[in-house]
Copies of this chain bind each other. A is one copy, B any other.
């Protein structure tokens, strides 16, 4: 990829915002490449939650320009024998631990190259620690790449790499069975029911009935504000998934739902029959 004067580097971690860890990574990166444009994807991925990290990454990273370098440090295995990988997907580079956090990127963006890092640069401030690879390994490595290192020379192409076994929605006799896969800041319930699958099954959404756990969800609408205030609704969200929401409220509370709660989209005509 062509070098840019102000390359964009994103950071996605489970480090939280209070501690010095994110800033230590950024400072180290700026030592290596002072004009990089740093953008936080999130540092509030729940601690050690690779699945949530995979979801957040896949919802944000595709929006960045080609040439962006993403540092993904949701890494409960830091310092163990898990590999660090550099992958190019859709013209963007991702540095990530081989723990499956890349799973949903791989589904969304074409894989164009992958190496397991063996020739990492030395730590900027002394030996590479076993507990803080964000600062001691990801950041110097990012600097090396930004300065023009040939990614292919960082190590061999791995024979395989880890992908998460995420639950997929299933077709049932009366519709689709899925689950909540993410609960956002607003309490919206994001599911693994895909808009494309729903639209393929039903020409008219009024023929459907949506259950979240045992609770009936209000009808599909185009957006939150089209439901009555405080009432549940279903919608196709901006990532092409079925989302369950409450207009100006919290669906997770209203429906006592969380990640893993089953959602069923059923055909009313079959139910009525």
Interface residues of A (CB under 8 A from B): 4, 6, 8, 10, 15-28, 30-31, 34-35, 37-45, 47-48, 55-57, 59-65, 68, 76-80, 124-125, 129-132, 135-136, 184-186, 222-226, 235, 237-238, 243, 247-248
Contact = CB atoms under 8 A, between A and B. Distances in A.
Nearest to A248: B48
Nearest to A33: B65
Given A23-B60, A24-B59, A76-B224, A130 B235 contact: yes
A224 B133 CA distance: 12
Contacts of A26: 39, 63
B23 A224 contact: no
A247 B48 CA distance: 10
B129 A19 contact: no
A47 B38 CA distance: 26
A56 B223 contact: no
A8 B30 CA distance: 9
Given A222-B130, A223-B80, A225-B80, A238 B19 contact: no
Nearest to A59: B20
B6 A225 contact: no
Contact of A34 (B8, B55, B76, B224): B8
Contacts of A47: 185-186, 248
15 contacts: A4-B34, A16-B184, A18-B184, A19-B185, A20-B42, A20-B56, A20-B60, A23-B41, A27-B60, A30-B37, A30-B39, A76-B225, A80-B226, A129-B238, A130-B222
B237 A132 contact: yes
Contacts of A132: 237-238
B8 A23 contact: no
A224 B131 contact: yes
Given A225-B76, A225-B78, A42 B30 contact: no
Contact of A42 (B18, B56, B76, B225): B18
Given A44-B18, A65-B34, A131-B224, A76 B23 contact: no
Given A23-B60, A41-B23, A129 B6 contact: no
User: What 8 A-B pairs have minimum CB-CB distances, sorted nearest first?
Assistant: A79-B223, A16-B185, A27-B63, A132-B238, A18-B44, A20-B59, A27-B64, A20-B60
A19 to B, nearest CB: 5
A118 to B, nearest CB: 19
Given A31-B63, A125-B62, A135 B20 contact: no
